[in-house]
Structure 1
Amino acid sequence: MRTRIALVLLALFLMASNALAKDVVFAVDATYPPMEMIDADKNIVGFGPEVVMAMGKAGGFNPILKNTAWDGIFAGLASGKYDAIASSVSITEERKQSMDFSDPYFEVKQGVIVPKGAAISSVADLAGKTVASQMGTTGYFVCKKIEGATAKSYDEIGLAVEDLYNGRIDAVIADDAVASNYALQHEQYSQKLTLAFLIAPEAPEYLGFAVNKGNKETVELINSALAAIKANGEYDKIYAKWFGPK
């Protein structure tokens, strides 16, 4: 009897703890596979969302994922529509002027997708070409720096890849995990496209969770939870699921 009562009390305690857990709303532009995307059941999935959900479990908070278009995602953060952005946001000095970041959770390089057989194997080969990426991303910033190339921006990276597939542009630049997904793993695009090369970065590029400037409470909550899933091995399990063992 005492054992049964103890189990009931434990269950009630856990239910109460879950009910009192802090909601943390994360904006996600779910158009960036395999990092963030929508599955067949209309759920937000991917490496990033799975990391966030694991962080919530480890950190004792309730993550709420809110699908948000990239073109308004930073303005929404500034206006308080959500607590953080979990959408493959690269930590840059410029962005740190207007927002704060968690500790890094993923390292990226910029990958260049081209049609199979194209004579493009280096940045120099992109001179005279139309090179595209998603607007406001570090991939697009790279496009604009390529000497002699015409930079073109798209609302979503998938739209750029579609135009590349149909011969309307010459190359697409995106985070390497995303570029690899479209060029090497996508059933349709991989038939005509390939990942030509990775661009050597001037400095390491890391993704972080963005929060409003001065929101130390949320940064500390996220950092603590991120550290916990790295320590208990959950982060490595999620990484291996999406990208293979490190």
Structure 2
Amino acid sequence: MMKKRLALAVSAMLAIGMLTGCGSKADTAATTAAAEAATTAAETTAETTAAESAAEVSAENPFNGKTVKVGCSATFVPFESIEMAADGKKTYVGMNIDIIKTVVEKNGGEVEFVDMPFKSLMAAIQAKQIDFCSGGMAPTEERKQTLDFSEIFFYPRNAIVYRSEDSYPDLDSLKGKKIAYVFGTNYQQVAESVEGAETVGIQGSPACIEEVKSKRVDACIVDGAGATEFLKNNDTLAMSLLDKTDDCFAIGFPKESPYYETFNSTLKEMMENGELDAIIADHLSEQFILD
């Protein structure tokens, strides 16, 4: 249809050109008017085609023109947290936040983040309160029974945080100590693997850090990147960065989510073209970039 419209417009322009070569002033004026009409018709055809193309994109891309609700646990610095402005406006910030916003906005959508405890994310997806959840979740076999996961885009490193007068260079040095961990995360398994340790689950990394500062526990197991941020403002604390493990980050979707394929495809492209590395480097050091 588009080719026929353009062909007609071009034919009209050629015919006008032939008339102009041998006509009078009156003929020329008429010819000019006809040329303008033909140009307008061609422009209208192009605009219509563009609109039709946009409609096709909208039909094929589930994000286009949509606002998706994404669950996150906004106490997970520097991956996902909240900054409050003086006027009370709330802004979600962090590495995971930027990755999700970039993917969704690349596909013509917008994101509404919903803050909730980490342990509530899977239940919120199943209850359809959110469309998917942020990237601080490891795709374990148990979780895969309920959710579909994106490509793994980040391998974190755990850290032991303790008071600066103490020294806990590795997990073995914590034998028999009292250790805090973030409730509902894989840090629980790390803490409970320490021989003879007393472990306690706490809601959120900041609360775990406070348990250490207040001397209610000897140390806590938290994310290494987050620990680095906390220690910038806590000179009474120290940390030991642990080796890389199989723990990893991915985005969790409900089964048969309409957003899964498009999101994952865009995330893969960002991993290949360096956009993902740039976001990681903007929030963390290069040692955290996925090999």
With structure 1 as the length reference, what TM-score do the two structures score? 0.85
Checking the alignment, whether the CA contact within 8 Å between 1:36 and 1:87 is kept in structure 2 is: no
Between the aligned partners of 2:257 and 2:64, the Cα distance in structure 1 is 21
Query: 1:112-132, CA deviations, whole angstroms, 9 ceiling, x for partnerless residues?
Result: 111113132221111111111
Deviation at residue 242 of structure 1 after TM alignment? 0.7
Q: Partner residue of 1:25?
A: 69
1:95 to 118, 129, 143: 143
The 3 A distance-change label for structure 1 pair 97 and 38 is same
**SS of residue paired to 2:102:** helix
Query: 1:8-31, CA deviations, whole angstroms, 9 ceiling, x for partnerless residues?
Result: x69x96998899523322101111
Which is worse superposed, 78-87 or 55-64? 55-64
Which is worse superposed, 14-23 or 170-179? 14-23
**SS of residue paired to 2:105:** helix
Superposition pairs of residues 88-237 of structure 1, within 5 angstroms:
88-183=136-231, 185=232, 187=233, 189=234, 191-199=235-243, 201=245, 204-212=246-254, 214-237=255-278
Higher RCO structure, 1 or 2 (CA under 8 Å, sep 6+): 1
Which letter does structure 1 place at the counterpart of 2:84?
A: A
Structure 1 position 64 matched with structure 2 position 112: yes
**SS of residue paired to 1:107:** coil
5+ unaligned residues in a row in structure 1: which ranges? none
Query: 1:190-215, CA deviations, whole angstroms, 9 ceiling, x for partnerless residues?
Result: x11111231553xx221001112x22
Aligned residue-pair number: 236
5+ unaligned residues in a row in structure 2: which ranges? 1-35
Choose between structure 1 and 2: higher strand proportion: 1
Q: Partner residue of 1:75?
A: 123
Which letter does structure 2 place at the counterpart of 1:241?
A: D
Checking the alignment, whether the CA contact within 8 Å between 1:104 and 1:208 is kept in structure 2 is: yes
Query: 1:65-89, CA deviations, whole angstroms, 9 ceiling, x for partnerless residues?
Result: 1122223222111111111110411
With structure 2 as the length reference, what TM-score do the two structures score? 0.72
Bigger radius of gyration: 2
Between the aligned partners of 1:195 and 1:173, the Cα distance in structure 2 is 10
Q: Percent identity?
A: 23
1:36 to 64, 76, 80: 80
